[in-house]
Amino acid sequence: MTASDTVEAVFKAVAASAPDVRDGLAGRRVYESTDNPTGDRQLAADVYADELLEERLLEIKRVGGYASEERESVIEAEAEGEYHVACDPLDGSSNLRSNNTMGTLVGVYEEPLPAAGRDLVASGFVLYGPITTMVTAREGTVTESVIGDDGTRRTVETDLTLPGAPTVYGFGGRVPQWSGEFAGYVETVAEELKLRYGGAMIGDVNQVLTYGGIFGYPGLEDRPEGKLRLLFEGHPIAHIVETAGGGSSDGERSLLESVPESLHERTPLFVGNEEYVDRLEAALSG
Ligand code: AHG
Ligand code: MN
Ligand code: MN
Ligand code: MN
């Protein structure tokens, strides 16, 4: 099995799981009594998606380990494997009760986890919207597929790139918790783009991939590292957007330059058209 076959097997397994994850949501909108390692209250749907993906991904030859936002530590495969998968099984799970978009994120690293962004060989996300779609980045190109009820993918766009004329923006966190520099930057962006913030990173980033613009979740006064997780959210989404010709930042440099010390490390996260990412870094450098 080549590297490319392994990546394809991971994408195929995530796509095949999408109808099962989607079908499992309606009856799993209740909270478990547990929190995940970054303190999110876990929905039954979070745990269900995580267990389903762990099983399917660890079955793949050459996948040596599975880590997820919902698990304290890496789950090692029985057989050795040089690829390590990091998963956000359900991104935006707080949108479940309000029936808004959610997604599944996957990153394929060629080093044991936690690994550097530059160790990503492929990344992808499933978006549970009116249509179930999957966006994947590998070998320098981004592809969008529609996932059928049978879990197979139909390619609908190849070489996906961010549009040159950006139109949307969305930033998380409460405004009083934003730094003065960041609030000032958002004021300029708000004069140029339309606010689109749906509370699930994958849905919000897919709007940026479709219409151009910028999405972010900044560091906050009371939480300077922000909310989003570097390994499970930052790296894969930055890899997708940068492969689509956009930029990413933690406020200072590309998220792919970051090497997490711990599995569940958080990071400020910004992705979108390079012009807006560059202006953000200039605004935050004071
Ligand atoms: P998850 O459901 O995997 O914990 O991720 C939720 C994240 C991300 O999807 C979204 O951008 C952000 O939380 C929204 O946070 P707020 O609810 O604070 O806006
Ligand atoms: Mn969560
Ligand atoms: Mn998430
Ligand atoms: Mn999640």
In angstroms, how far is CA 182 from the centroid of its own chain? 22
Q: How far apart are CA 100 and CA 209, in angstroms?
A: 19
Q: Residue 192: how many CA atoms within 13 Å on its side-chain side?
A: 13
Q: Which ligand 1 atom sits nearest the alpha carbon of residue 228? A: 7
For the annotated binding site for Mg(2+), the residues are 69, 88, 90-91, 233
Would you give the DSSP letter of residue 165?
S
Q: What ipTM score was computed for the predicted complex, to two decimals?
A: 0.98
The answer to whether domain 3-157 and domain 168-285 are alike in fold is no
**Percentage of the residues of the chain whose pLDDT score is greater than 70:** 100
pLDDT at position 79 over 80 = yes
Domain extents in the chain: 3-157, 168-285
With contact defined as beta carbons under 8 Å apart, do 278 and 249 qualify?
no
Taking all residues of the chain, what is their mean pLDDT, rounded to a whole number? 97
Cβ-proximal residues to 192 (8 Å cutoff; 6+ apart), any chain: 166
Max alpha carbon distance in the chain (Å)? 54
Q: Is the CB of 172 under 6 A from ligand 1?
A: yes
CA distance 61 to 1: 8
The residue written with tokens 């529609």 in the block is 146
Annotated binding site for substrate: 91-94, 197, 227
Taking each helix axis as running N to C, give the angle between helix 235-243 and helix 201-211, from 0 to 180 degrees, rounded to the nearest 10. Answer: 10
Reported as a single tens digit per residue, the pLDDT across 176-217 is 999 999 999 999 999 999 999 999 999 999 999 999 999 999
CB 235 within 8 A of CB 117: yes
What's the burial of 172, exposed, middle or buried (CB within 10 Å: 0-12/13-18/19+)? middle
Please determine, for residue 25, whether its predicted confidence score (pLDDT) is greater than 90.
yes
Does ligand 1 come within 6 angstroms of the Cβ of 217? yes
d(CA 45, CA 96): 9
Nearest CA to ligand 1 atom 6: 92
Question: What digits encode the pLDDT tens for the residues 238-258?
Answer: 999 999 999 999 999 999 999
Answer whether residue 77 shows pLDDT above 90: yes
| Cβ(216) – ligand 1 distance below 6 Å | no
**Cα–Cα distance, 8 to 136 (Å, whole number):** 10
- At residue 70, does pLDDT exceed 90? yes
- C-alpha R_g of the chain: 18
| Mean pLDDT value across residues 103-131 | 98
For residue 277, what pLDDT is reported?
98
Q: Could you give the CA distance from residue 244 to residue 238 in angstroms, rounded to a whole number?
A: 10
How far lies 173's CA from each of 64, 129, 193, 226, 247, in Å?
A: 36, 23, 19, 8, 21
Whether 201 is in the pocket of ligand 1, judged by its Cβ within 6 Å, is: yes
| Burial of 100: CB neighbours in 10 Å, binned 0-12, 13-18, 19+ | middle
Going by alpha carbons, the residue nearest to atom 18 of ligand 1 is 173
Q: Hey, is 277 helix, strand or coil? A: helix
Q: What is the mean pLDDT of residues 261-284?
A: 98
pLDDT of 54: 98
Considering the segment(s) 168-285 as one domain, its CATH architecture is 3-Layer(aba) Sandwich (3.40)
Say if strands 75-76 and 31-35 run parallel, antiparallel, or are unpaired: unpaired
Q: By three-state DSSP, how is residue 276 classified?
A: helix
Query: Is residue 45 within 6 Å of ligand 1 at its C-beta?
Result: no
pLDDT at 253: 98
Q: How far is CA 154 from the centre of its chain?
A: 21
User: What's residue 252's pLDDT?
Assistant: 97
Superfamily of domain 3-157: Fructose-1,6-Bisphosphatase, subunit A, domain 1 (3.30.540.10)
> Is residue 206 within 6 Å of ligand 1 at its C-beta?
no
Note the pLDDT of residue 225: 97
* Ligand 1 center from residue 166 Cα (angstroms): 23
Q: How far is the CA of 92 from the centre of ligand 3 (A)?
A: 6
pLDDT of amino acid 286: 77
pLDDT of 280 > 80? The answer is yes
Task: Provide the pLDDT for residue 3.
Answer: 83
pTM value is 0.98
Phi then psi dihedrals of residue 126, to 5 deg: -100, 140
Q: Name the token pair of 277.
A: 């990412």
Q: Which ligand is nearest to the CA of 50?
A: 4
